Structure formats: C-alpha cells, structure tokens
Amino acid sequence: MKKKLLALMLLLTSFTLWAEEPTLNPTSEELKAAGQRIFQNETGGKKELLVHWNVGEDFPSLGIGHFIWFKRGANEPFTESFPGLVKAYLDNGYKSSDLPKIMTATPYAPWNSREEFLAKKEANDKDILALIDFLYEHQEVQVRYIMDRLVAALPLMMEASSRPDHVKQQFYRVAQSPGGFYPLIDYVNFKGEGINPNERYKNVGWGLLQVLETMKGTKTGKPALKDFSSAAAKVLNQRIKLSPIERGEDRWREGWMARVRTYAQ
C-alpha cells in the first residue's frame, strides 16, 4: 500500500512539474509587432530591400528576415533558410501556383553572382519585382516561420550546451518578460541558434545559445532584457574580434550594436 501511495505521489509531482512547464505562446499582436521590427531591422523598412544581396556575401537575402538562399554549388558555413520558407508557405495552404515562379522553379538561387542579380534588379526584372511584391504582401507566414524556428531551437540548444538548465532558465527568463518575445525571435533569425559547428570562428559561436550561456542574472522583466542585450553585444563583439580580417566584419559593428540595444527598450 505504501509503495502504491509513493508511486501515486511521484506521478502527481511529475504531472504538476509538467503542467507548470513554461511555454512560448505569443499573441497574434506580439507576432505582428515582432515581424514589423524584424522587417525594420533587416531592411530599414524598405520594400525594395526584401530581395537583396549584401556586399561581401556570396548569396542573396530575401524576405522580412533576410532569409539566405544559396546558389547551386555553394559551400557556405551558414545555415540556409529561404528554401524552408518556401516549404512553410506550401505547408500553410499556399499552392505552388500562388507563389512567384522564381520561388519554386529551382531549389537554388537563380543568380550566379551579385553582379548578375544587381543588373537584373536595376533593369526591373519582372520575376524579381513579383518576388518583392509577394514577400511584402504575405508577411504572416514569414513571422510564423521564424517563430517555429525559435520554438524548435530550445531543445536543440539544451542538447548542445554543457549547461542545459542554465540555457533553459535564461530562455524563459527573457520569454516571460514583457516585451521579451521580440529579442528572442529577432536574434535567432539574425544570428541563428548557435548550434551549427560550421558557424564558428576559432571554435567560438555567436548564436542564441552563446547569448543565453553568457547571461548571468535571475530576475525577469527589464533586468532580463538588459542582460540579454548586453550578452548579445558581448557575443557579437567577440565574433568580430575572432573573424578573419579579410571579411571586414568591423564594418557591421555599429549596426549590430544598434540592433541589440533595441532588445532592452
């Protein structure tokens, strides 16, 4: 009888712990607001920059999250994200015929170089214009796509970390703070989860995992947002310091620091 009672108590305790497990469940208003801020961060709010190719990069960036799209034969250390967005549209009820043909014609970016891309964009290529219009008019799936990535990130980051409990605590410390959803969703889109072993300089990463591991506090609210912002700045400054000189990453410092400061506001 005592053994049965003990087993029942353990079961109830486990259920209580499971029931009290924090969740990440932003409202539609929070999702929309975060999407607008990501759009502003990535493009300066300029519609024409929804389809863009940055100087010094060997791939274009598309959508409100500047999802990267590799050309055929690319060998990049970064995580490609645009093909996943195309799948997200199809999974959310869009038909192939609803999408600009450039999105489904090939799994690869259709431009062989930045020069070729710019020439077509400056000539008002109809396929590029159609892609810009579509990505501007259909932003909800893009926000939810980033949201899904964030939700999936936590168990992956915990598995990759030597301090999984700390990572989880810091994640929910930010998530449960007023305004905390935006920093998390923006950073995972901005610099990734931090679990890709190829996304390293001198074996040091710069993703969300590294930011959470760098955080130290326990309080939620403003202290959590300030801690996250400070940790993000530290991680990004370290990335710049460790980056190959030929990449010239210091040119991005000012913009990156301005971006992470918004996390504490």
In this prediction, residue 11 carries a pLDDT of 37
Rounded mean pLDDT of the chain? 91
For the stretch 20-78, pLDDT in tens is: 466 778 888 888 999 999 999 999 999 999 999 998 889 999 999 999 999 998 888 88
Rounded mean pLDDT of 124-144? 97
- Dihedral (Cα; 224, 228, 231, 235), 10-degree rounding: 160
Place of tokens 């980056």: 243
Q: Does residue 8 sit within a domain?
A: no
User: What is the mean predicted confidence (pLDDT) over 193-202?
Assistant: 94
What's the structural domain count of the chain?
1
Greatest Cα-to-Cα distance within the chain, rounded to the nearest angstrom: 82
Residue 11 located in a structural domain = no
Residue 110, in any domain of the structure: yes
CB 230 within 8 A of CB 206: no
How far apart CA 175 and CA 31 sit, in angstroms, is 13
pLDDT at 164 over 60: yes
Calculate what percentage of the chain has a pLDDT beyond 70. Answer: 92
Asked if residue 12 belongs to a domain, the reply is: no
Residue 55 lies in a domain: yes
pLDDT tier, 3 (very low <50, low <70, confident <90, very high otherwise): very low
Range of the domain at 55: 25-264
Express each pLDDT in 92-112 by its tens digit: 999 999 999 999 998 999 999
Compute the average pLDDT of residues 148-170. Answer: 96
CA-to-CA distance for 5 and 25, rounded, in angstroms? 35
The whole-number average pLDDT for the span 157-186 is: 96
Handedness of CA 138, 144, 147, 149 (dihedral sign): negative
- Give this prediction's pTM: 0.84
User: Which residue matches tokens 């620091």?
Assistant: 257
Q: Would 238 be classed as within a structural domain?
A: yes
6 found inside a domain: no
Is residue 13 assigned to a domain? no
